[in-house]
Amino acid sequence: MGFAENLEKLHNIDRESRHLERVVTLLRWDQETYLPEDGVPERSEQLALLEGIAHQRRTSSETGRLLSELGSTPENPRGDEKLPPLEQDFLKTLRRNYDRALMLPGDFVSAAARAEGLSQAAWINARRNNDFSSFLPHLTKMIDISRKKAQYWGFENNPYDGLLDVYEQDMGADAISAVFTPLAKRLSLLIKKISSLPRPDNSFLDEDFDIENQACFSRDLLERLGFDTNRGRLDISAHPFTTTLGSDDVRITSRFLPRLLLSGIFATIHEAGHAFYEMDFPSELRGSCLADGASMGIHESQSRLWENVIGRSRSFWESSFPVLRSYFPSTLHPVKVADFYRAVNLVEPSLVRIEADELSYSLHIILRFELEKELFSGSLNPAELPAAWRKKMKEFLGLEPETDTEGVLQDVHWSMGAFGYFPSYALGNLYGLQFWEKLKSDLPQSEQMITGGNFAPIRAWLRDTIYVWGRRLAPQDLLKTVTGNTLSSEPFLAYIESKYGEIYGF
Amino acid sequence: MGFAENLEKLHNIDRESRHLERVVTLLRWDQETYLPEDGVPERSEQLALLEGIAHQRRTSSETGRLLSELGSTPENPRGDEKLPPLEQDFLKTLRRNYDRALMLPGDFVSAAARAEGLSQAAWINARRNNDFSSFLPHLTKMIDISRKKAQYWGFENNPYDGLLDVYEQDMGADAISAVFTPLAKRLSLLIKKISSLPRPDNSFLDEDFDIENQACFSRDLLERLGFDTNRGRLDISAHPFTTTLGSDDVRITSRFLPRLLLSGIFATIHEAGHAFYEMDFPSELRGSCLADGASMGIHESQSRLWENVIGRSRSFWESSFPVLRSYFPSTLHPVKVADFYRAVNLVEPSLVRIEADELSYSLHIILRFELEKELFSGSLNPAELPAAWRKKMKEFLGLEPETDTEGVLQDVHWSMGAFGYFPSYALGNLYGLQFWEKLKSDLPQSEQMITGGNFAPIRAWLRDTIYVWGRRLAPQDLLKTVTGNTLSSEPFLAYIESKYGEIYGF
């Protein structure tokens, strides 16, 4: 059989994998949005069955055979060099996914899935009852499983490197530390400085904001950002998320609570940033494993860029605040846009990551990264986590949680064994500003565009410069290709210092 | 391997088939309710893939082997007689599904699916452009395919019998004719009589009714009927339907149009009737192929019983009209409940089946049944359908469609090759009244219960008498078991004559 035929077969297998993944995603999306309460247990069985079928197909020997026929091996994943570059990237990505799936024995995968289910349930209870000790055996188990996973996959120095690689290819713990450690110092100092300055007034947000109106404003905002509702939707869920159910079916969720006006707005913008990335991959990648984000960190750079750099900018609220005010005329009538801008950028260290401001956010992440690193190097025992958490929290943000619920138990990630995921959030902040610098030099009028509510040129730039690559490049290669630079926190810090210096007057 | 082990394996296979079916159903439900417009083409590919997987599993040789091991053969489908009756019913049903799936060659099934897709698209255009001739080649093809299907499955006299058997097991065309022919005569006469009598005034319905309020009333109604929203939901779609996504996840849809108040209300009640059946199968049938309606006709008996016998009764509106009026105080304030009752039972023959009143409805069905019968006996040529339609319409309802769009092109069924489906609707009317007679004799207070809005005893009776059987009994056996009688139109006609005699005063 010829190359062309083998390649077509492989593309078909890949396309079908994508279809199955998206069916699984629909089951999950529906569970978060519309599934009646009592339907949950049976939904888990449907999911388990579908995921079993998907795993079987992902690891079918047919895929391995076709990859080999096309010259792709673990040592030379890109396959025969006569193939066009796009096909070589395709083979490389498929090879990576295939090898990784095969490296985990089937019974290990199902045992891990079962342990994860129990661990998540235990975490929910532990968090509710502020009882870390009841979660400890599960946490220990999840760490063991992750360590084993890293061993199956292989790693450079520390098993933690093997886990990080899942979310951020080729970024080891040392490379991340080299950036995160000085970043943490600079951010801590800045926060200390700001805390000694007068606090902007945001008492006008301490009101009840009708949630129907909040939802309408969010829909209005999405329309102004150019979110295409023929290819996506906004729904409500307890925790906002973005999900891709098809090349032309990208859905986001948000949540609206009467006393948290800002929370719903920025959740919508954040998820829209993820959705734009997913919606605008180039058509030649459609349906393939290359129609995906370059990494979790790069994906997060897109959501954070829209949420913070654009969404929390003065230019953005120049045009958006009058619209927001029209939805809440009585409450927001007396508020000036300048005061609203300061309120959405209030720096106020708190204990909880998901409520953190733009400055403290990265510190919440670096704290988790450092603890994960110590856990996997063996220098920190899981039982010592609550104390270590409190110590670092004090060091980074000057706060100490009174309970583990507000401390080490606050996030779901560890209960799911998702060690190595957290750094993506802070990396996203850094990548985002590196991209933004380049965008501003290519589009010198970007600020005026935002003020005028004209987001199309910005979306086009992101599409043609970043999304166009899909998952063809590893994150660091994408960064280099787009910006010409390697990972750096300088653009982020320069942006933070200039923006907050102006707001707080230092 | 022992009986018990084989049986458990077979139950597992069956349960997994159900999970897969329900995943397919979720994909379809989502397509009708929330899927963004441009997501449709990719959804078709997802569906095709999943249906392929489901078909593969349904026809796996493992199922055939296990059935044989348990003593089930095509001649003795119930398997070993030492098995408990419930398990024998299980084997019988699984054997029927398995044999039927295997009888159709794989390439025939996919060719039929492709032809069906083209035919449905052609029908949509033909209906839009009132152009029967452009649909004719597709219709002819769908008839050929159905004829072949009947040949694969086998049939008694006419290929049409083989098709009817899919929807209404063991009901051949002659048995149905024996009931439908005299029924059509009696109904036609009744309609003629009523058309000469004064027409009740329903002009108060000729208003705009806010669709949000309509939806709220429908939700309110569902709550009063005891629809459990922990186990189901109401959504909006272009064509109302009921769908089972899990034993505890049964969803209905309705549609609300400003000028069609009654349409939305009765769609909701109709679908609730289907949903109650699906929600209340006994727990020992849970997740098995026996947790299903006995037939399409029996299912339709449940929706029509709630929609018409209960939902269009005077007792029902005694308690429900004040609630409805509270949603539309200005429009409905002057209306008396007696006038509203007459308006929901207005007899007014029209050209379109889905808008038909309780009396004309069965005539619309019998017309289609007779045409299908002639098509498959060969006495009617597909090209002659439009003329035959007009002639029968004139004969049954005294009306003649001016266009084929309002005539032979109005329904989707034939374009999908669903020949033999239509009779279920009219059979449902007949079964429904046979069941209702029995219910009234068991629950002599049923009318007072309805007046009092106390539906729980009626739901319990239906559950304990009908739903309890799931699909264990063939429809005629279920009818016999519940009522002691064979199929008869007498209870339906007696109900119609008494109800409409009273309304129209004859």
Query: Is the pLDDT assigned to residue B165 strictly greater than 90?
Result: yes
pLDDT at position B211 over 90? yes
* Record: contact B245-A16, CB cut-off 8 A: no
**Cβ–Cβ contact B30 with A under 8 A:** yes
**Residue A456 one-letter amino acid:** A
Can you spell out the DSSP letters for A46-114? Answer: HHHHHHHHHHHHHT-HHHHHHHHHTT--SSSTT--TTS-HHHHHHHHHHHHHHHHHHHS-HHHHHHHHH
Closest CA to B506 of B175, B195, B96: B195
Q: CA-to-CA distance for B290 and B97, rounded, in angstroms?
A: 11
Buried b / exposed e along B417-437 (16+ C-beta atoms within 10 A): bbbbbbbbbbbbbbbbbbbbb
Name the pairing type of β-strands B232-236 and B249-254: parallel
**pLDDT band (50, 70, 90) for residue A314:** very high
Alpha carbons A242 and B265: distance in angstroms, whole number: 35
ipTM: 0.89
Cα B26 from Cα B243, distance rounded (Å): 8
Provide, as residue numbers in chain B, all residues whose Cβ is less than 8 Å from the Cβ of A249.
35-36, 38-39, 42-43
* Spatial distance between the Cα atoms of B294 and B292, rounded to a whole number of angstroms: 6
pLDDT at B7: 96
**pLDDT tens per residue, range B408-463:** 999 999 999 999 999 999 999 999 999 999 999 999 999 999 999 999 999 999 99
pLDDT digits (tens, 9 = 90+) for B5-63: 999 999 999 999 999 999 999 998 998 899 998 998 899 889 889 988 988 888 999 99
pLDDT class for B238, splitting at 50, 70, 90? confident
Which pLDDT score is estimated for B502?
A: 95
Q: Do you know the residue count of chain A?
A: 506
Amino acid at A325: R
Residue B497: both structure tokens together: 């004559």
> What CA–CA distances, in Å, run from B76 to A142, B71, B151?
52, 8, 22
**How high does pLDDT run on average in chain B?**
95
Per-residue pLDDT, A120: 86
Q: How large is the average pLDDT for residues B252-267?
A: 96
Chain A partners within 8 Å of B230 (Cβ): 36-38
Q: Which residues of B are catalytic?
A: 271
SS3 state of residue A320: helix
Which tens digits make up the pLDDT trace of A257-305? 999 999 999 999 999 999 999 999 999 999 999 999 999 999 999 999 9
Q: Which residues pair with A232 in a beta bridge?
A: A250
* Residue B43 contacts A, CB cutoff 8 Å: yes
pLDDT tier at A1 (50, 70, 90 boundaries)? low
pLDDT of the residue at A386? 98
Residues of A in contact with B30 (CB under 8 A): 26, 30
The confidence score (pLDDT) of residue A113 equals 83
Give the SS3 label for residue A202. Answer: coil
Whether the CB of A393 is below 8 Å from some CB of chain B: the reply is no
Residue B3 pLDDT exceeds 90:
no
**Residue B1 pLDDT:** 56
Secondary structure letter of residue B420 according to DSSP: T
Residues 259 to 288 of A: which have CB under 8 A from any B CB? Answer: 287
CB contact under 8 A, A30 and B26: yes
Q: Compute the distance between CA of residue A140 and CA of residue A380 in angstroms, rounded to an integer.
A: 12
Tell me how far apart the terminal alpha carbons of chain A are, to the nearest angstrom. 70
Select from B270, B262, B190, B181 the least CA-distant residue to B234: B270
Q: Is A47 on the interface with B (CB under 8 A)?
A: no
Cα four-point dihedral sign A53, A59, A65, A71: positive
Residue B156 has pLDDT above 90, yes or no: no
User: Looking at the complex, does the CB of residue B245 fall below 8 Å from at least one CB of chain A?
Assistant: yes
Query: Residue A253: its chain B contacts at CB < 8 A?
Result: none
The answer to whether the Cβ–Cβ distance between B230 and A30 falls below 8 Å is no
| pLDDT 10s digits, A377-391 | 999 999 999 999 999
Closest in A38, A49, A235 to B19, CB measured: A49
How open is the CA angle A413-A417-A423, to the nearest 5 degrees? Answer: 55
CB contact at 8 A, B256 and B264: yes
Q: What is the DSSP string of B225-276?
A: HT--TTSEEEEE-SS--EEEEETTEEEEEE---TT-HHHHHHHHHHHHHHHH
- Number of A:B CB contacts under 8 A? 97
> What is the percent of chain B with per-residue pLDDT over 70, rounded to a whole number?
100
Q: Does B11 touch chain A (CB under 8 A)?
A: no
The two tokens of residue B91 are 């084997």
Q: How far apart are CA B482 and CA B442, in angstroms?
A: 11
Cβ–Cβ < 8 Å for A53, A96: no
Q: Residue A202: its pLDDT value, please?
A: 95
List pLDDT tens digits, range B178-205. Answer: 999 999 999 999 999 999 999 999 999 9
pLDDT recorded at residue A256: 96
Q: Which of B20, B39, B249 is the closest to A36 by Cβ?
A: B249
Q: Are A72 and A92 in contact (CB under 8 A)?
A: yes
Distance CA A212, CA A32 (A): 19
Task: Please tell me which of the candidates A34, A46, A246 has its beta carbon nearest to residue B22.
Answer: A46
Residue B257 scores a pLDDT above 60: yes
pLDDT of B86 > 80? The answer is yes
- Based on DSSP, count helices (H) and strands (E) in chain A, helices before strands: 21, 3
Residue A44 has pLDDT above 90, yes or no: no
Closest-approach residue (CA) in chain A for B45: A19
pLDDT surpassing 80 at residue B277: yes
Dist CA B217 CA B232 (whole Å): 17
From chain A, the residues in CB contact with B36 under 8 A are: 229-233, 248-249, 251
Q: Which token pair is A191? A: 């926060």
A30 touches chain B (CB under 8 A): yes
In this complex, the residue of B20, B37, B233 whose CB is nearest that of residue A230 is B37
Q: What is the pLDDT of residues A55-86, one digit of tens each?
A: 888 899 999 999 999 999 999 999 999 999 99
Q: Which residues of A299-322 are buried (b: 16+ CB within 10 A; e: fewer)?
A: bbbbbbbbbbbbbbbbbbbbebbe
- What is the rounded average pLDDT of the residues A145-155? 95
Q: What H or E segment, with its residue span, contains residue A250? A: strand A249-254
Q: Where are the beta strands (DSSP E) in A48-175?
A: none
Q: Tell me how far apart the alpha carbons of residues A437 and A431 are, in angstroms, rounded to a whole number.
A: 10
Residue A116's pLDDT is 86
Q: pLDDT, tens digit, for every residue of B296-352?
A: 999 999 999 999 999 999 999 999 999 999 999 999 999 999 999 999 999 999 999
As a whole number, mean pLDDT of residues B404-408 equals 96
A121 pLDDT band (50/70/90 cuts)? Answer: confident
The predicted pLDDT at position B32 comes to: 86
In chain A, which residue's Cα lies nearest the Cα of B244? A39
Q: Is B44 in the A-facing interface, judged by CB distances under 8 Å?
A: no
Query: DSSP string covering B17-69, please?
Result: HHHHHHHHHHHHHHHHHT--GGGHHHHHHHHHHHHHHHHHHHT-HHHHHHHHH
Q: Output the six-digit token pair for A57.
A: 């197909």
User: Which residues are CB-neighbours of A134 under 8 A, at least 6 positions away?
Assistant: A122, A125, A126
B12 touches chain A (CB under 8 A): no
